[in-house]
Amino acid sequence: MLEKLGEVLKKATDRIANAIFLDKNLVDSVIKELQRALIEADVNVHLVKELTDKIRTAAFDERIKEIGKKEHMIKLLHDELLKLLGEEKKLQLKKGQNRILLLGLYGSGKTTTTAKLGNYFSKRGKKVALVGLDVHRPAASEQLKQLAEKNKLNFFINTEEKNPIKIWKSFEKKLKDYDVILIDTAGRHNLDKELTEEIKSIDKEIKPTESILVMPADIGQAAKQQAKEFSKAVSITGMIITRMDSTAKAGGALTACGEVSSDEKGKAGVYFITTGEKINDLEEFNPKQFLSRLLGMGDLQALIEKVKSVTDGKKQEKISKSLEEGKLNLEDVVSQVKAMNSLGGFEKIKDMIPGFSGIEKKIPENLMENQQEKISKWEHIIKSMTKEEKENPEIIEKQTTRIGRIAKGAGVHTSDIRSLLKQYKMLNEMLKTGNPMESGLGGGMSQKQMQKLAKKFMKGGKFKFR
């Protein structure tokens, strides 16, 4: 997402930081590159000019000592970009039941986002229900049903009834025991009178705790006007920007949303962004962390949250305990590798890991397919082991008869068993040198070690995260 903008920002900060002194040619060149990149990302021209004028003024401000000008310029660039992105806006669940209404036009991704939010809250221990009130798009109810069933989420739909209020009333008693109710509403090609009246009546009947506007990133600066139009019908408390992975113009939507006012809660900022089609491709939007990722400094918090969304809570507690004791068993290893696969692999999350943004090499296209096959083999291998072997795999290497017995029982080659043992050994070595999630640049590991581990990953290895 916004890859080109990120490259320009990194290049600009590097050029400023490495300059012996700031002359007019350097400043003009940096500003032109910034302006071009921001405008290409669809950021409002007036906002771009305002930002770059401040940078230019700072560069030639005689009140600032020459020795501190570079640092001042870089900090100013960082602070002004943060202002463009708006303030952090978290979706805070209330005690008792939370009724979350999802609104938006056709093609915004409401139904898919409803399921993603359901998965997000379900993985965090909430009892979640999805309710389909889109009675105009024929495929909406079926789509919601399929997504719910596939991801083991409770859902309530009625394909026969064409009145959304009647549908809601028919399920109201059954919904009393749920912590979070996510309501998928109808869309239109535009916010016409009919849709406005329908939204108003649903809002009045349901009395939602949150009304979230779902908008695709590729609408750019038009996001601001769309948000204002919807807020005239109901009180918009926050937004979700979808399809962040499919456009280079997402800067327009993000900065436009940062300007939109809500009710007494202040700005109706961005709660989440979606970064792909998979159920786990949903992230909380934190402007500071997002900017950190653009600048190549990683976003550990987003990565941790992603891991939570693909890992069962009880399993994660067990693995955390193993981490504290300084040792993973074989089942822990396979569980973590499966979680990584659910995230989309290293290519999907490498920009979140500090120190890895400079790696140019891409994962081969067939890697994920091969990795899935490998995981399946590993699971069969573990089933053929004794409890002692699962807990202490070191004893397997010492006795080749064990490797032969396990291979025969699992129907695999002995090389497959050695591959699993090698993976196990690598992850436990990481525990001894330092957990990459424990600190900004990898705990006890140096940048060089992290780069080395990244290359191992791209050859078929995996990382462990918690």
In the predicted structure, residue 63 carries a pLDDT above the cut 50: yes
In the predicted structure, residue 102 carries a pLDDT above the cut 80: yes
Spatial separation of the C-alpha atoms in residues 110 and 140, rounded to whole Å: 10
Q: What is the three-state SS of 10-31?
A: HHHHHHHHHCCCCCHHHHHHHH
Q: What is the three-state SS of the chain?
A: CCHHHHHHHHHHHHHHHHCCCCCHHHHHHHHHHHHHHHHHCCCCHHHHHHHHHHHHHHHCCCCCCHHHHHHHHHHHHHHHHHHHHCCCCCCCCCCCCEEEEEECCCCCCHHHHHHHHHHHHHCCCCCEEEEECCCCCCCHHHHHHHHHHHCCCEEECCCCCCCHHHHHHHHCCCCCCCCEEEEECCCCCCCCHHHHHHHHHHHHHHCCCEEEEEEEHHHCCHHHHHHHHHHHHCCCCEEEEECHHHCCCHHHHHHHHCCCECCCCCECCEEEEECCCCCCCEEECCHHHHHHHHCCCCCHHHHHHHHHHHCCHHHHHHHHHHHHHCCCCHHHHHHHHHHHHHHCCHHHHHHHCCCCCCCCCCCCCCHHHHHHHHHHHHHHHHHCCCHHHHHCCHHHHHCHHHHHHHHHHHCCCHHHHHHHHHHHHHHHHHHHHCCCCCCCCCCCCCHHHHHHHHHHHHCCCCCCCC
Spatial separation of the C-alpha atoms in residues 347 and 364, rounded to whole Å: 10
Mean pLDDT of 203-213: 95
Tokens coding 162: 């064409």
State the number of CA atoms in the 13 A half-sphere of 17 facing the CB: 9
pLDDT per position as a tens digit, 157-171: 999 999 999 999 999
Distances in whole angstroms, Cα of residue 426 to Cα of each of 321, 419, 455 = 19, 11, 13
Tokens coding 232: 């005239």
Tokens coding 433: 């040198």
Query: Max CA-CA distance within the chain?
Result: 78
**Position of tokens 């979230």?**
212
How many whole angstroms from its chain centre is CA 57?
36
Mean pLDDT of 144-149: 96
Mean pLDDT, the chain, whole residue set = 78
| 291 CB-near residues (< 8 Å, 6+ apart) | 78, 81, 82, 85
In the predicted structure, residue 118 carries a pLDDT above the cut 80: yes
Spatial separation of the C-alpha atoms in residues 3 and 221, rounded to whole Å: 19
Tokens coding 183: 């309501």
Tokens coding 227: 């948000």
User: Please, are residues 309 and 120 in contact by the beta-carbon 8 Å criterion?
Assistant: yes
Spatial separation of the C-alpha atoms in residues 465 and 438, rounded to whole Å: 10
Spatial separation of the C-alpha atoms in residues 180 and 175, rounded to whole Å: 9
In the predicted structure, residue 22 carries a pLDDT above the cut 60: yes
pLDDT per position as a tens digit, 350-395: 555 544 444 444 444 444 445 667 777 888 898 899 988 888 888 8
Conformation bin of residue 312: beta by default, left when phi > 0, alpha when psi is -120 to 50: beta
pLDDT per position as a tens digit, 395-440: 888 788 899 999 999 898 888 888 888 878 876 776 555 444 333 3
| Domains of the chain with bracketed CATH | 3-84 (1.20.120.140), 98-294 (3.40.50.300), 300-458 (1.10.260.30)
| 293 CB-near residues (< 8 Å, 6+ apart) | 6, 299, 302, 351, 352
Q: Minimal CA–CA distance to 273: which of 409, 98, 88?
A: 88
Name the least confident of 173-182, 217-226, 264-273, 380-389.
264-273
Kindly indicate the confidence band of residue 210, based on its pLDDT and cuts at 50, 70 and 90.
very high
The pLDDT value given to residue 254: 83
Q: Minimal CA–CA distance to 345: which of 465, 182, 194?
A: 465
Kindly indicate the confidence band of residue 344, based on its pLDDT and cuts at 50, 70 and 90.
low
Distances in whole angstroms, Cα of residue 233 to Cα of each of 192, 310, 347 = 11, 36, 41
